[in-house]
Amino acid sequence: MTGLRPVLIVDDSADDVELMREALAEFKLANPLAVARDGEEALQYLRREGPFVSRAAVDPAVVLLDLKMPKVDGLDVLREVRADERLHRIPVVMVTSSREEQDLVRSYALGVNAYVVKPVDFSAFADAVRRLGAFWAVLNEPPPSAGMEAPP
Partner 1 sequence: MGPGLSQSRRLRPPTPPRALTVIHTLVAGAVLGLVCLSSGSSALAILLGAVALAALGGAALLWHRDVRERAAAAARLELLFSHFPDLLVTADTAGHFLDVNPVWERVFGYTAEELKEKPFLDFVHPDDVARTVAMYEAQQAGAEAVAFVNRYRCKDGSYRWLEWNATPVSVGSLIYAMARDVTERREADEKIRALTVQLEAHVAGLQALNAELEAFSYSVSHDLRAPLRHVLGFADLLEKQVAGALDEPGRRYLGKVRGAAQRMGKLIDDLLAFSRLGRAELRATDVSLDEVVRSAAADVQEELAGRDVDLKVGSLPAVRGDPSLLRLALVNLLSNALKYTRPRPRAQIELGAEPGANGNVVVFVRDNGVGFDMKYADKLFGVFQRLHSTEQFEGTGIGLANVQRIVHRHGGRVWGEGRPDAGATFYLSLPAAGREAVT
Q: Interface with partner 1 by CB under 8 A: which residues? A: 13, 15-16, 19, 22, 67-68, 96-100, 102, 118-123, 125-126
Q: Which is nearer to partner 1, 9 or 126 (by Cβ)?
A: 126
What's the min distance (Å) between Cβ of 77 and partner 1?
Answer: 16
Return d(Cα 60, Cα 73) in angstroms, integer: 19
Provide the minimum distance between the beta carbon of 83 and partner 1 in the complex, in angstroms, as a whole number.
Answer: 25
Q: How far is the CB of 101 from partner 1 (least distance, A)?
A: 8
Residue with smaller CB distance to partner 1, 30 or 120 = 120
**Cβ proximity to partner 1, 9 vs 46, nearer residue:** 9
- Report in angstroms how near the CB of residue 135 gets to partner 1 at its nearest: 21
Q: How many CB atoms lie within 10 A of CB 145?
A: 19
Name the residue nearer to partner 1 (CB basis): 12 or 41: 12
Evaluated on CA atoms 84, 54, 18, 26, the torsion sign reads positive
Cα 59 to Cα 20: distance, rounded to the nearest angstrom: 20
Burial of residue 29 (CB within 10 Å: 0-12, 13-18, 19+) is buried
